[in-house]
Structure 1
Amino acid sequence: MRGEGLGERRRWPCVAAVWSSLYGAAHVWWLADPGSPLAPPEEAFSPGRWVAVTLAFTATAVCSVIAAGIGHHWAAPVRWMLVALAWVIGAGLIVYSYMLAISLATMLFGQVDDWGSLLTRAAGATAGALTLACAVAEQRRVRRACSHCARVHGRSPERRTDPTPRWAYLAAYVAIAGCAARVIVLVVDSITTHKPLPFALGAPFGIFVALLILAGTLLPLALVHRFGRIWPRWVVPLAGRDVPRWLVLGPALFVGAGLAGYFGVAGMTAWLLGKGNLAQAPVWKVSMEMFGYTSWGLGLLAASMSYYGLTRPDCPSHGFAVPRALRTSS
């Protein structure tokens, strides 16, 4: 972290610990009083509230250890185990809140049926995101990353103009292939059932589908190609300037986590258990939808890791800023 002091180092882990403990306490309350009018319904295909309680209080313990700095005197392998645990627990909280992306999407159509569920899912995803932030911060300290830019100089990309690794390109094009598989199913289903294609921009669902297709084509390309990091020359007012990293990274993480959680976890579980309408649908259709959405989400998440590293701010201690003339040369 840039200029990270002791107070700043401990502040966010403390926030994460408190938030996670409150989230876990709410689920304990609902377990003790399941008939409470404030208790939101359990998620479909969820293993139960005890999972949320376990994840929440484990996150509280991990973030508390990071906030207190207890692990700074531990051996490196033990500290790496703490980092790995924080990653797993943070990701687990986000996966448990897999319905958040769908809830937010339905808000576009004014169809939110339970605000309690929406707020609970948002709280769980926030707890997961805060825990992952603690994992990243502790990982930087274990790796002895630069305090100004969080890079490990000599091993990390130093500039936005550095080449994207091949694995990130592979991930981005896997995401595009997953989107293509889903669109093919949509088109074939519309043709065979004589339904109109849902691409009319005048309809709210048509706008949603158009945005979804952009998230499966333009977004993964922006994660791995230069135009997603530096505005190209044809964007005259902004040519050569840095693209705000969260303009690309934020939607990529949100869509990637939403697709991977909802379809990769809940959808696959429902399919394997033969629940819902999936059991009656043709196997080719369900498989293309499930694997398409899942590979789309995982591809976005993997490509986001590369984008995150390439778009770190220039390090003031190493003077790696790139002249604007070189930025607009291609």
Structure 2
Amino acid sequence: MVSGGRGLPCVAAIWCSVYGAAHVWWLANPGAPWAPPEEVFSPGRWVAVTLAFTAAAVCSVIATGIGHHRAAPVRWTLVVLAWVAGAGLIAYSYMLAISLATMLFGQADHWGSLLTRAAGMTAGALTLACAVAEQRRVRRACPHCARVHGRSPERRTDPAPRWACLAAYAAIAGCAARVSVLVIEFITEGKPLPFALGFSFGVFIVLLILAGTLLPLALVHRFGRIWPRWVAPLAGRDVPRWLVLGPALFVGASMAGYFGVAGMTAWFLGKGNLAQAPVWKVSLEMFGYTVWGLGLLAAAVSYHALTRPDCPSPGPAVPSPKVTVPRAPRTSS
């Protein structure tokens, strides 16, 4: 329900506080056991501390205000702060996707870094969930389905908005730009295609290409919400929303964070091996990945709204028109 309770913001506040306290400990004791190294191309660990305690404070204020009347500007301020802190925590944990990819290839990663990044990603997700819940309360959304009846899509069969379709096809264009670099290198330099580098890497590339073609289309077209006819056993049934939404959010956030934040920063500062690479190549890779990730995130917002469960009480009841019965004229006796 939209009104919700204090459980989620309380959990978010505690989780973010513990995450921030761990970073404070590592700042004071950089050589402590299990202390992960600072993320590359980030301003420093103090950013994580600031974001974590900001998120904890905002979630705590949201929790104490549930069920009480507050002015709309105050509540919108909390929503904005929660969105900024949550998105910042997710962006700071951009290396989580790389950690998981290295595990896929059988390479050992720093377990402290892996767990810290996962904790940061979770802190950001919890904070964003609090932001969404508070935003729904401010907008006076339906307590049964979280829709604003009359302004939100009411069923899965409703078409995706144009801006979502534009975002999805922008993601496909970003994927095409990135893949074009591989094709150009294969043609001009004779470099092997990724499929020739081993089975695991080939599977990874196939999944990546699907995330840049099939996944964006599924976010904005009917077959991503209702199984099509050619899926005989499931035809006509609802597609589990997190089967599409989960990968879209994870891949989109990882690409936007890793390439849009860290990659762009490294490129502009001339760090790493990006300074020696041709400008056209780095441009296609960095902007391709960034547009790809942002497009997935934007299309996922529309998909999330379109796949909400049906409302058991759609819209406010419309009162029936009042019928006035003319009174019979009075007769004198």
* One-letter amino acid of the structure 2 residue matched with residue 297 of structure 1: G
In the alignment, what sits opposite 1:111? 107
Cα distance between partner residues in 2 of 1:227 and 1:45: 40
Deviations 1:183-213 (A, max 9, x none): 0001111232212211359621111011000
* 1:301 counterpart = 2:297: yes
- 1:234 corresponds, among 230, 242, 247, to 230
Once structures 1 and 2 are overlaid, which stretch shifts more, 189-198 or 149-158? 189-198
In the alignment, what sits opposite 1:205? 201
* One-letter amino acid of the structure 2 residue matched with residue 47 of structure 1: P
* One-letter amino acid of the structure 2 residue matched with residue 290 of structure 1: M
Contact map agreement 1:222 1:228 (CA 8 A) in 2? yes
- 1:246 corresponds, among 242, 248, 262, to 242
Correspondence 1:1-330 to 2 at 5 A: 1=1, 9-69=5-65, 72-200=68-196, 203-318=199-314
Supply the RMSD in Å over aligned alpha carbons.
Answer: 1.4
Cα distance between partner residues in 1 of 2:211 and 2:197: 16
* One-letter amino acid of the structure 2 residue matched with residue 28 of structure 1: V
Once structures 1 and 2 are overlaid, which stretch shifts more, 23-32 or 194-203? 194-203
Contact map agreement 1:200 1:207 (CA 8 A) in 2? no
Once structures 1 and 2 are overlaid, which stretch shifts more, 65-74 or 163-172? 65-74
In the alignment, what sits opposite 1:327? none
Deviations 1:123-144 (A, max 9, x none): 0010000000000000110011
Cα distance between partner residues in 2 of 1:122 and 1:259: 16
Deviations 1:96-141 (A, max 9, x none): 1110111111111121320100100000010000000000000110
* One-letter amino acid of the structure 2 residue matched with residue 267 of structure 1: G
In structure 2, the CA distance between the partners of 1:316 and 1:73, relative to structure 1 (3 Å rule), is same
Question: Considering only CA atoms, is the larger Rg found in Structure 1 or Structure 2?
Answer: 2
Deviations 1:221-252 (A, max 9, x none): 00000000001112111111100000000000
Structure 2: runs of 5+ lacking an equivalent? 316-333
Cα distance between partner residues in 2 of 1:71 and 1:118: 38
Cα distance between partner residues in 1 of 2:279 and 2:106: 32
- Secondary structure (helix, strand or coil) at the match of 1:68 reads helix
Cα distance between partner residues in 2 of 1:71 and 1:264: 39
* One-letter amino acid of the structure 1 residue matched with residue 16 of structure 2: S
What is the identity percentage for the equivalent residue pairs of Structure 1 and Structure 2? 84
* One-letter amino acid of the structure 2 residue matched with residue 283 of structure 1: V
Cα distance between partner residues in 2 of 1:72 and 1:279: 55
In structure 2, the CA distance between the partners of 1:71 and 1:102, relative to structure 1 (3 Å rule), is farther
Superposition deviation, residue 70 in structure 1: 6.2
* One-letter amino acid of the structure 1 residue matched with residue 310 of structure 2: D
Contact map agreement 1:201 1:207 (CA 8 A) in 2? no
Structure 1: runs of 5+ lacking an equivalent? 320-330
- Secondary structure (helix, strand or coil) at the match of 1:276 reads coil
Contact map agreement 2:160 2:220 (CA 8 A) in 1? yes
Cα distance between partner residues in 2 of 1:244 and 1:10: 27
Cα distance between partner residues in 2 of 1:192 and 1:175: 26
- Secondary structure (helix, strand or coil) at the match of 1:237 reads helix
Cα distance between partner residues in 1 of 2:289 and 2:66: 41
Question: How many pairs are equivalent?
Answer: 315
Cα distance between partner residues in 1 of 2:143 and 2:164: 26
Q: Which runs of 4+ in 1 moved over 3 A?
A: none
Cα distance between partner residues in 1 of 2:313 and 2:197: 49
